[in-house]
Amino acid sequence: MSGISVGTFYNPHLGAELAQADGIDHLAMADPPAPHDPHWPAIKQRYTLLLHDYLGQLSEPLDERSIARARSLAELYRTPWVAEHFQCLHTEDGRYNLNYVFPPLYTEEFLQRFVTNAKALQVRLDQPLVMENIPGFFDVKASQLPEPVWLRRFFEATGAGFLLDLPHVWLEAHYRAVKPAVWLAEFPLERVVELHVAGVVQDDDLQGPWIAPAAPSDEMLDFLALAVSRCPRAQAVTFDAFSPSLTLEVLLSSVERIRAAL
């Protein structure tokens, strides 16, 4: 398949190499560039940049400060779309914060919250909004809808794009003991604009696999090829790895293998 942009995340510790690398079409930005990052001017000039920062959790309306920040970053990057996550990771009073992506309850109340707040954000952005699925390690009994149904209804109500994180789908399938392709088929793939792919590794605390800034396995790349074939509007695939421990070799070889898998 051609015409799909293949890229990765901007990892500042690899800035010098990324500024000259071949074979990378775009870079997603998880953090703003550091004020004295010597490679930032070249990176900005060379790449299509995708805004993929933490803007806020859409269980609550974004405040003016957050919206201004999102607009400012979007303008700085000249991003084709703005990404956020289906997440609710801190309590409403700010007292508890997980500092890690965590999904909301899949209920009617949360659906209404996310739809309302996403629409309010869309009005304030000059670019389309895309939303990324977040894996659950355990089910919360108060949830009322299957995650794919909840997501489908969100996208139908907002018109937002879908940033499909494939390892997240793969992990959920693993912990539900269903085949990844079967679980994937439940999601609104016709809404997908961008896909994330990466590796998973064994985690001692979880006693099972979890997301990691690691190279995707051959199985994951096969899963990617399958997913892309079912996402008619997909425009980009991003190697989802952002960590100071990430090596240049893993980054470049992963992007190359992703491109080959497509």
177 binds other proteins, rule: CB under 8 A: no
> Contact with other proteins (CB under 8 A): which of 1, 23, 75, 91?
91
Non-local CB neighbours of 115 within 8 Å, separated by 6+ positions: 154, 157, 158
37 binds other proteins, rule: CB under 8 A: no
Q: How many CB atoms are located within 10 Å of the residue 2 CB?
A: 4
> Contact with other proteins (CB under 8 A): which of 16, 120, 140, 178?
140
User: Is residue 4 classed as helix, strand or coil in its secondary structure?
Assistant: coil
> Contact with other proteins (CB under 8 A): which of 142, 182, 225, 260?
142
206 binds other proteins, rule: CB under 8 A: yes
Which x/- pattern, by CB under 8 A, does the window 230-259 give for other proteins? Answer: --------------x---------------
> Contact with other proteins (CB under 8 A): which of 89, 214, 224, 241?
89
116 binds other proteins, rule: CB under 8 A: no
Complex with other proteins: residue 45 or 99, whichever CB lies closer: 99
Residue 53 near residue 81, CB atoms below 8 Å: no
Alpha helices by DSSP H, listed for the chain, are 15-18, 40-46, 64-77, 108-124, 147-158, 166-176, 180-184, 218-229, 248-261
User: Is residue 28 classed as helix, strand or coil in its secondary structure?
Assistant: strand
Candidates 3-11, 92-100, 123-131, 191-199 — which segment interacts with other proteins by CB under 8 A? Answer: 92-100
Complex with other proteins: residue 81 or 150, whichever CB lies closer: 150
Candidates 116-124, 185-193, 202-210, 250-258 — which segment interacts with other proteins by CB under 8 A? Answer: 202-210
17 binds other proteins, rule: CB under 8 A: no
Shortest distance, CB of residue 137 to other proteins, whole angstroms?
A: 5
**Angle between the 64-77 and 108-124 helix axes, to the nearest 10 degrees?**
60
User: Is residue 237 classed as helix, strand or coil in its secondary structure?
Assistant: strand
Residue 196 near residue 226, CB atoms below 8 Å: no
203 binds other proteins, rule: CB under 8 A: yes
* 221/111 Cα distance (integer angstroms): 32
Candidates 75-83, 106-114, 213-221, 254-262 — which segment interacts with other proteins by CB under 8 A? Answer: 106-114
Burial readout 117-136 (b: 16 or more C-beta within 10 A, e: otherwise): bbeebeeebebebbbbbbbb
22 binds other proteins, rule: CB under 8 A: no
Q: Of all helices (H) and strands (E), which one includes residue 197?
A: strand 192-197
Complex with other proteins: residue 45 or 141, whichever CB lies closer: 141
Residue 25 near residue 259, CB atoms below 8 Å: no
Residues that bind other proteins (CB under 8 A): 56, 59-66, 88-100, 102, 104-105, 107, 109-110, 113, 137-142, 203, 205-207, 210, 244
